[in-house]
Amino acid sequence: MNTQYRQGDVLLVRFRPRRWGALAQVERAGGRIVLAEGEATGHAHVIDSPLAELYQDRLENRYLKLDDPAELRHEEHAPVALEPGVYRVLRQREYAPKSNRRVSD
């Protein structure tokens, strides 16, 4: 259960949810799930599958649920084929003196 996928600054880690009731479903943007938007280019890491769902907890941690295989797409990266399952969506951070900040993709 240690499956991981990375595309640019997005990391997906296989996850076993304990309580779905505490999660709120995140709305789609233009019919697709947006996992992260690039601050530098305006491009986005997206899933187009109609069977994919994105959830968020009260701390804004995000979880991607895939009932079928799907592809993670981004204009500047090769597509990543994803297996069905639930994944925690993490954004890579970089260290800078006196702060941590998200990596700009």
Q: Are 103 and 91 in contact (CB under 8 A)?
A: yes
- Amino acid present at 26: V
Which residue did the predictor score with more confidence, 57 or 22? Answer: 57
pTM over 0.75: yes
Q: Could you read off the pLDDT of 50-82 as tens digits, one per residue?
A: 999 999 999 999 999 999 999 999 988 899 999
Residue 105 above 80 pLDDT? no
Give 17: exposed, middle or buried? Use CB within 10 Å, 0-12, 13-18, 19+.
Answer: middle
Residue 93 above 60 pLDDT? yes
Q: Nearest to residue 105, comparing CAs of 4, 1, 11, 22?
A: 11
Per-residue confidence at 98, pLDDT binned at 50, 70, 90? low
Q: Are 6 and 82 in contact (CB under 8 A)?
A: no
